[in-house]
Amino acid sequence: MKKIIVPLIGLLVIMVGVALVRTARFTSRQIQVPAAKAITLDRHKMAERLSHAIQHKTISDPVPNSTAAAVFKRFHTFLANSFPLVHGHLAKEIVGEDSLLFTWKGRDNTLKPILLMGHMDVVPADPQTENDWTYPPFSGRIADGYIWGRGTMDDKVTVLGILEAAEYLLANGFKPRRTLYFAFGHDEEVGGSNGAAKIAALLQRRNIDLDCVLDEGGNILDGIIPDTTAPVALIGIAEKGYVSLELTVESPGGHASTPPDHTAIGILSSAIANLERSPFPARLSAPLRQMFAFIGPEMPWPNKFALANLWLFEPWIRRQFAQSPLTNAAIRTTQAATVFHAGVKENVLPASAAAIVNVRILPGDTVNGVIEHAHRVIDNDQVKISPLEIRVEPSKISDPQSAAFQRLHRAIKEAAPGIIVAPASLVAATDSRHYAPLSQNIFRFLPITLRPEDARRFHGLNERISISDYERCVRFFVQLMRDSDS
């Protein structure tokens, strides 16, 4: 007995010792930044300009048409009238019909340029709930300390915020050392193939090598990540891939009074049930581990101890994350049956059944791996599996140790002192993927504050931004443009 117990206790002591040493070495990655020089922004004028921008119904249409084009032309005119210095000093190009590319030439052409991006288009307001908005979705109402309407969070806030920052800096005589590009798409919500894709192709033809790209994506989460003492700014260093699989079953059909054992509907249903029974395995991806490395040291002791010792606690963390759809999406490739078509009449056997399963692919998995997984799990030749046209591999992972990430980290701290900054992976797709060939450093972040109830406002009811939050966005872009000199 003693022969077993003594080595066991020894092993336990070593494990506890290793865990404690790892926790002691698990130190803060937050940079300390002196408070930025105070700047005076006219928050009321800025709110009014954003409000006007919201009133332009720049809804993107999958099929380009003259009505939508006219709306975007009027929006361009509004921008030109609102930001005269930007339009006077920067080169403006119209790309892919209605997207805009501004070039602010730097003084030092040995430095690689930075590209800041946003999109001018918005999704429509759902007609079924349009009357439930506190203020109409395209009214741009300024009330209760907020600017209300479609585009205040996604993503006119970015477009106007960048232009406000540049206008302010121009008025104060700033000339960037490094060239800055502002790229504003007009069709992000319908795939970005005419806007961001064409701007990226144009820059590629010009052999532009970008220091970094910043797009929308992560935000400042307040009261959402458990056991954090301060709001957390999440910078997207990666995003999931995307593919939809169409599953089809053909069968002879006929009269429902003499059915086979399994109809097309039954076969297809069991294929989907098999997929749901066999989710992709959970794992802590590289970006998630990076997030833990940044957030963990800022947490109270038990959390810090667990996150410093993933070698011991990983299975427990995976189980915790699997419990809610939001966190579950961060630890695995997810699959969701979203469409099902079959049958025409109650007494007729369906001659065919079709369904679509939408899959979001975790960095580390691939589109081909997803298709193989579906074949293996469904394991039935009667079910035809074909991927739909849009197939996006997960993005590459940008380096949170890079100078470009540090610059973002610094600008966030300058605009929002006391906030925790951390890298993260996005579960949704952004237009930034089109710029992948142009830079190693692609980041996704916009400093708007989200509280637990706010995530639903994206593409949903009562989209809004507080005036002070908007002011902070502009401050962030001012700092980022100034810091780009370093």
Tokens of 69: 């084009």
Least separation in angstroms between CB 428 and Zn ion: 9
Instruction: Supply the minimum distance, in Å, between the C-beta of residue 438 and Zn ion.
Output: 20
Q: Which is nearer to Zn ion, 292 or 443 (CB)?
A: 443
Annotated catalytic residue 121: yes
Query: Closer to Zn ion at the Cβ: 120 or 282?
Result: 120
Q: How many CB atoms lie within 10 A of CB 256?
A: 14
CA distance 250 to 382: 7
For residue 439, report the phi and psi dihedrals to the nearest 5 degrees: -160, 150
Torsion of CA 157, 160, 164, 170, to 10 degrees: 140
* Smallest separation, CB 188 to Zn ion (Å): 6
Kindly report the backbone phi and psi dihedral angles of residue 114, in degrees, each rounded to the nearest multiple of 5, phi listed first: -115, 140
Residues 405, 408, 413, 419, CA torsion sign: negative
Residue 272: count of CB within 10 angstroms of its CB = 17
SS3 351: coil
Which segments of 126-253 does DSSP mark as H helices, in order?
156-171, 196-205
Angle, CA 367 vertex, CA 363 and CA 370 arms, to 5°: 95
- Inter-residue long-range contacts of 466-472, CB under 8 Å, 24+ positions, other chains counted: 466/145, 466/146, 467/43, 467/47, 467/142, 467/145, 467/146, 467/147, 468/43, 468/145, 470/43, 470/46, 470/47, 470/50, 470/147, 470/157, 470/161, 471/41, 471/43, 471/46, 472/415, 472/416, 472/447
Distance of alpha carbon 363 from the chain centroid: 14
Helix (H, G, I), strand (E, B) or coil at 337: strand
**Residue 121 binds Zn ion, judged by CB under 5 A:** no
CB of 155 to Zn ion, least distance (A): 4
Identify which of residues 100 and 353 has a Cβ nearer to Zn ion in the complex.
100
- Per-residue binder mask for Zn ion (CB under 5 A), 94-113, x = binder: --------------------
- Of the pair 29, 119, the CB lying nearest Zn ion is at 119
- Count of residues interacting with Zn ion (CB under 5 A): 2
The least distance separating Zn ion from the CB of residue 11, rounded to whole angstroms, comes to 51
Task: Pick between residue 235 and residue 282 the one whose CB is nearest to Zn ion.
Answer: 235
Report the residue number, 98 or 155, with the smaller CB distance to Zn ion.
155
Q: Which is nearer to Zn ion, 329 or 446 (CB)?
A: 446
Measured from the CB of residue 432, what is the shortest distance to Zn ion in angstroms? Answer: 11
CA–CA gap between residue 156 and residue 82 (Å, rounded): 14
Residue for token pair 């030749």: 381
Catalytic hit among 154, 188, 189, 471: 188
Write the DSSP string, 225-267: STT-SS-EEEEEEEE-EEEEEEEEEE---EETTS--SS-HHHH
Compare residues 111 and 190 and give the one whose CB is closer to Zn ion: 190
Site for Zn ion in 182-221 (CB under 5 A): none
Q: Tell whether the torsion through CA atoms of 405, 411, 415 and 420 is positive or negative.
A: positive
Taking the complex as a whole, the smallest distance from the CB of residue 283 to Zn ion amounts, in Å, to 28
Of the residues 98, 121, 431, 463, only one is catalytic, namely 121
Of 34, 44, 102, 137, nearest to 474 by C-alpha is 44
Six-digit token pair at 149?
């309407």
**Nearest alpha carbon to residue 235 among 454, 52, 479, 404:** 404
Give the shortest CB-457-to-Zn ion separation in angstroms: 12
- Minimum CB distance to Zn ion smaller for 211 or for 469: 469
Considering only residues 148-167, where is the footprint of Zn ion by CB under 5 A? 154-155
Q: What sign for the dihedral angle of Cα 445, 449, 455, 460?
A: negative
Least distance CB 184 / Zn ion (angstroms) = 12
Q: How many helices and strands in the chain, by DSSP H and E?
A: 14, 17
Footprint of Zn ion (CB under 5 A): 154-155
Catalytic amino acids? 121, 188
